[in-house]
């Protein structure tokens, strides 16, 4: 190790003694020699610190080593993690900027599960998928180069063979056609080779990301693993987007050469003015870019290691809004909440419109859809929604321009939700269907022919799908199509409509026949009534859970906002 890279023992250094450190304490942010490490490990203040060897410390990426252990603004130790702002907070941060935030977790609880969280697995899976896609594209592009060579060789033979059948006047025309052919081939090769150069550069970047990821996972402290994984997540997301955008590169197209010899070449002395023509044959590449864990590595939810019992959950009404009056009475059949906290509602049968409210309940805008009847709605981002229409279609709508961006024909089914670039809905007699927004490809996620209700509502949480069905049941499936549980209890639960799910996997389902909201445990084994008619619950369809707040929209247009604790 070079002298400039030698790390000294911090404790000895404060005593004006220079001693090489053998260990590193991330929480103290200093090196320790062997004797000092011994005392450090038994001291009450530091015995729980995660010490690593200097060799392991030196293996960490430079940006991970620079992670601050304390709040840089207030020079206080981080104590809480705010999932709403995705930020670590010291005690002063909490008092100044996070007084109204809910769902905050103790940082000690969060970092305990960070190394074993699914984020590392997701990052590794995404990196592997990206590499496989790059290798697949490289192989395909090389095959296309060979094909172009073969086309070139055949075309050249055709040209020369024809040339030998005519007189010397073809010399000039032969030169023109060959120059055109060679120029076109060079142009095509340049496009593909340019793409290949980009791909080889991307592969180098991916290898570095993999190395950094493994170093953080194996050698970083818990906090470094937590924050470092989020830093690496941005690089993985960028690489993922780059791979997904490959199809837009001109060099990704399936390119071919075609040489057409004119049938009237023998009439060249009188009629023909060119030897032939060179054209580029372009078709869609047979390679389909697909990442199995698409976008999953972009989302990290800081969930505490403990689950939550439905017996511990309480709800208190904090706001009540009345949706603005229309020309006719309200028929609210669907609702959702934008990431920024604004709310949207589907006013179905009479007014046939979407209603958007500010977070304080004031009207923002209305989008008329008449003569179409919107049934359910889900937010994709802060300005885009997907809406199920009662004529078996789904419309993608830009709420800022009020324009329909895409109309998708579907089977019978009206409940809808959005998850990671995919629209998911129930289809009567078929099961759970997903629509990938990148290419609008439709695929069946869950086969369940017992779904006989057009009005089944649906929600997702983590890798699970939840939906109401069969008049008195809630079902839960994994994304792999495995049925996890089915909940029925007609004593408290009948005629279910809307459903929402919190971060613990606990379902909140409307029981319309009882005018109530029922809680269902994460394992589907237990249920209890959370809200009743005494809490102003009436006939309702729209329900949504957003950052520890539960929204219930009645059919008549009364919106209740509950704080969930």
Give CA torsion, residues 145, 151, 157, 161, to 10 deg: -160
d(CA 279, CA 181): 9
Backbone angles phi, psi at 14, to 5 degrees: -65, -15
Q: Say what the pTM is.
A: 0.49
Interacting residues of 75 by C-beta distance below 8 A, sequence separation 6+: none
Contact between residue 226 and residue 114 where contact means Cβ atoms under 8 Å apart: yes
Q: Residue 260 — pLDDT band, cuts 50, 70, 90?
A: confident
**CA-angle at 214, arms to 208 and 215, nearest 5°:** 85
Q: Domains plus CATH for the chain?
A: 1-59 (3.30.160), 118-298 (no CATH), 310-564 (2.120.10.30)
Q: What pLDDT score does 401 carry?
A: 92
307-329 residue pLDDT tens: 688 998 999 999 898 888 666 77
Q: What pLDDT score does 500 carry?
A: 94
d(CA 412, CA 392): 6
Q: What pLDDT score does 388 carry?
A: 93
What does the mean pLDDT of the chain come to? Answer: 82
Highest mean pLDDT, choosing among 99-113, 154-168, 273-287, 389-403: 389-403
d(CA 490, CA 296): 37
Q: What pLDDT score does 303 carry?
A: 41
Residue 425 CA to its chain's centroid (Å)? 17
For residues 426-434, average pLDDT:
86
Q: What pLDDT score does 295 carry?
A: 39
**DSSP class of 325:** P
Widest CA span in the chain: 103
Q: What pLDDT score does 272 carry?
A: 64
Neighbours of 290 (CB within 10 A): 16
Q: What pLDDT score does 113 carry?
A: 59
For residues 266-291, average pLDDT:
69
Q: What pLDDT score does 379 carry?
A: 92
**Residue 395 predicted with pLDDT over 60:** yes
For residues 2-31, average pLDDT:
81
Tell me which residue of 107, 66, 65 sits closest to 215, measured CA to CA.
65
Lowest mean pLDDT, pick from 5-19, 142-156, 255-269, 491-505:
255-269
Lowest mean pLDDT, pick from 23-32, 75-84, 464-473, 524-533:
75-84
**Residue 306 predicted with pLDDT over 60:** no
Q: What pLDDT score does 416 carry?
A: 93
Contact between residue 549 and residue 562 where contact means Cβ atoms under 8 Å apart: yes
Question: Which tops the pLDDT comparison, 101 or 478?
Answer: 478
Q: Residue 93 — pLDDT band, cuts 50, 70, 90?
A: confident
For residues 528-537, average pLDDT:
94
Q: What pLDDT score does 293 carry?
A: 42
Question: Any long-range contacts for 192-195 (C-beta under 8 Å, 24+ apart)?
Answer: 192/141, 192/144, 192/145, 192/251, 192/255, 193/251, 194/251, 195/137, 195/141, 195/246, 195/249, 195/251, 195/252
Q: What pLDDT score does 103 carry?
A: 65
**Residue 78 predicted with pLDDT over 90:** no
For residues 334-344, average pLDDT:
86
């Amino acid at each position: 190790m070079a002298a400039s890279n030698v790390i000294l023992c911090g404790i000895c250094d404060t005593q004006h003694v220079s001693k090489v450190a053998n260990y590193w304490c991330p929480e103290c942010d200093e090196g320790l020699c062997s004797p000092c490490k011994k005392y450090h490990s038994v001291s009450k203040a530091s015995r729980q610190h995660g010490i690593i060897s200097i060799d392991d410390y030196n293996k960490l990426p430079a940006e991970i080593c620079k992670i601050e252990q304390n709040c840089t603004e207030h020079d206080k130790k981080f104590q809480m993690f705010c999932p709403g702002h995705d930020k670590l907070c010291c005690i002063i941060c909490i008092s100044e900027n996070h007084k109204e935030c809910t769902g905050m977790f103790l940082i000690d609880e969060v970092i305990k599960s960070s190394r074993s969280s699914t984020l590392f697995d997701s990052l590794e899976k995404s990196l592997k998928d990206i590499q496989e896609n790059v290798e697949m594209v490289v192989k395909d592009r090389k095959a296309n180069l060979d094909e172009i060579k073969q086309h070139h060789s055949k075309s050249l033979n055709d040209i020369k063979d024809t040339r030998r059948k005519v007189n010397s006047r073809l010399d000039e025309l032969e030169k023109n056609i060959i120059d055109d052919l060679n120029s076109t081939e060079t142009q095509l090769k340049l496009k593909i080779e340019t793409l290949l150069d980009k791909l080889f550069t991307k592969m180098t970047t991916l290898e570095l990301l993999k190395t950094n990821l493994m170093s953080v996972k194996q050698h970083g402290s818990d906090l470094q693993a937590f924050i470092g994984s989020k830093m690496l997540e941005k690089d993985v997301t960028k690489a993922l987007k780059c791979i997904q955008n490959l199809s837009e590169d001109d060099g990704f197209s399936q390119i071919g050469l075609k040489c057409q010899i004119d049938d009237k070449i023998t009439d060249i002395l009188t009629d023909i003015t060119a030897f032939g023509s060179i054209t580029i044959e372009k078709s869609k590449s047979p390679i389909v870019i697909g990442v199995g864990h698409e976008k999953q590595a972009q989302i990290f939810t800081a969930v505490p290691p403990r689950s939550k019992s439905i017996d511990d959950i309480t709800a208190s009404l904090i706001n009540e809004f009345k949706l603005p009056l229309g020309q006719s009475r309200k028929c609210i059949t669907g609702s959702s909440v934008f990431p920024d906290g604004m709310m949207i509602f589907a006013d179905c049968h009479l007014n046939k419109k979407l209603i958007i409210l500010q977070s304080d309940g004031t009207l923002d805008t209305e989008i008329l859809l008449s003569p179409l009847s919107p049934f359910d709605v889900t937010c994709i981002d802060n300005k885009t929604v997907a809406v199920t229409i009662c004529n078996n279609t789904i419309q993608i709508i830009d709420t800022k321009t009020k324009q329909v961006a895409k109309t998708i024909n579907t089977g019978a089914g009206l409940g809808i939700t959005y998850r990671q670039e995919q629209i998911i809905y129930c289809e009567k007699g078929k099961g759970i269907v997903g629509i990938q927004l990148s290419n609008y490809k439709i695929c069946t996620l869950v086969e369940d022919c017992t779904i006989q209700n057009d009005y089944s509502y649906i929600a997702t949480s983590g890798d699970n799908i939840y939906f109401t069905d069969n008049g008195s049941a809630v079902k839960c499936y994994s994304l792999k199509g495995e049925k996890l549980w089915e909940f029925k209890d007609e004593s408290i639960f009948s005629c279910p409509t809307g459903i929402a799910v919190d971060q613990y996997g606990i379902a909140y389902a409307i029981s319309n026949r009882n005018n109530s909201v029922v809680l269902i445990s994460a394992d589907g084994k237990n249920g209890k009534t959370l809200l009743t008619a005494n809490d102003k619950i009436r006939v309702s369809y729209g329900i949504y859970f957003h950052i520890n707040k539960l929204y219930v929209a009645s059919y008549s247009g009364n919106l209740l906002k509950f704080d969930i604790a």
